[in-house]
Structure 1
Amino acid sequence: MFKVQELREIIKLVDGSSIDEFVYENDGAKIKLKKSNGVVTEVVAPKKEAAPVVQQGTVAAAPAPAPVAPKAEEKVEEPKAAAPVADDASLHKITSPMVGTFYQAPSPDAPAYVKVGDKVGEETIVCIVEAMKLFNEIEAEIKGEIVEILVKDGQLVEYGQPLFLVKPE
């Protein structure tokens, strides 16, 4: 199977080239990339498994639509710039101990382990990282309050990637 870093490199190379479609097979795994309108669709399908893994992501940034000027009578509310919480040195980062998929809850219909504002202890489970079909419960390892959740449910995470910011007690 391909490593995440290998997939990223292949996607970058295909995106930067003039080719529209790329197919590669290696050790029973197949990757197919197809460009259309700035979107690269990737399909990674191990031949040994019954169902292929399909992922879709935007590689090239699409041109942003031109801003529309508000009418004179409309009240325009400027988005409030939140204080950059991630830059606060006093906050503790809970990081991923492995490469895998981040899940906020034990199952799709269950509530999240923690949300912003929740108090956690050293042994409080804050999320699950799935790696190689194993669901690894991640503990806070610090007593404090969850200030920010840095990744989205179902997102791939790297080893050492910050997942949560915690204000220590």
Structure 2
Amino acid sequence: MKAKEIQELIDFISNSGLAEVKIETDEFKLSIKKNSEAPAAKNVENYYTQAQPNPVQEPEPAPKRNTTESEETSGQQLLEVKSPMIGTFYRSANPDSDFFVNIGDTIQKGQTVCIIEAMKLFNEVESEISGKIVKVLVEDASPVEYDQPLFLIEPQN
């Protein structure tokens, strides 16, 4: 079962009247249980829908951000900001807010650059370096895969 299929199954179960589902095959075991008293991962407004009860599965802590050297562009060395998890990429905290960063913005280490929603939990992705945003590689509210490049950054010297 692929991650996207699991996410769709979780969304379906969240919207159904079921409180608990267990699936077991030769390849994997999956147990999902609604828990209406589970705390939210971050204090960020839900992007498009009302908050749903969170499955009991504990999410892994989100790494701040992964950077690797990218292709050399116009004689400059750029770094990629990569997705630390599978989820949905958001450039702002809610539809009415400004984007965290835009092309041409100078960012500082520790500054939030986006949010990745995974299993109804919102995880802020922070910059590990200071630099200038050169390119945004993903559309707002798009699904992203683990290790998928999100931004290109020109590091500050």
Gaps of 5+ in 1: 8-28, 30-43, 52-84
Change (3 A) 1:103 1:50: same
| Equivalent residue for 1:121, pick from 103, 108, 112 | 108
Distance in 1, Cα, partners of 2:141 & 2:129: 24
Spell out the pairing of 1:43-62 with structure 2 (5 A cutoff). 46-47=12-13, 49-50=15-16
Q: CA deviation at 1:140?
A: 1.4
1:112 paired to 2:87: no
| Equivalent residue for 1:146, pick from 125, 133, 141 | 133
Seq. identity, %: 44
Gaps of 5+ in 2: 18-69
For the aligned residue pairs, the C-alpha RMSD in angstroms reads 2.9
Distance in 2, Cα, partners of 1:132 & 1:46: 12
Spell out the pairing of 1:31-70 with structure 2 (5 A cutoff). 46-47=12-13, 49-50=15-16
For residues 50-76 of structure 1, what are the alpha-carbon distances to aligned partners after superposition, in whole Å with 9 as ceiling and x for unaligned? Answer: 49xxxxxxxxxxxxxxxxxxxxxxxxx
Q: Greater RCO between the two (CA within 8 Å, min separation 6)? A: 2
Residue identity matched to 2:155 = P
Residue identity matched to 1:138 = V
Distance in 2, Cα, partners of 1:48 & 1:114: 32
Change (3 A) 1:87 1:158: farther
May I ask how many residue pairs the two structures share in their alignment?
101
Distance in 1, Cα, partners of 2:140 & 2:71: 19
CA contact (8 A) 1:146 1:165 kept: yes
TM-score (norm 1): 0.53
TM-score (norm 2): 0.57
Residue identity matched to 1:115 = N
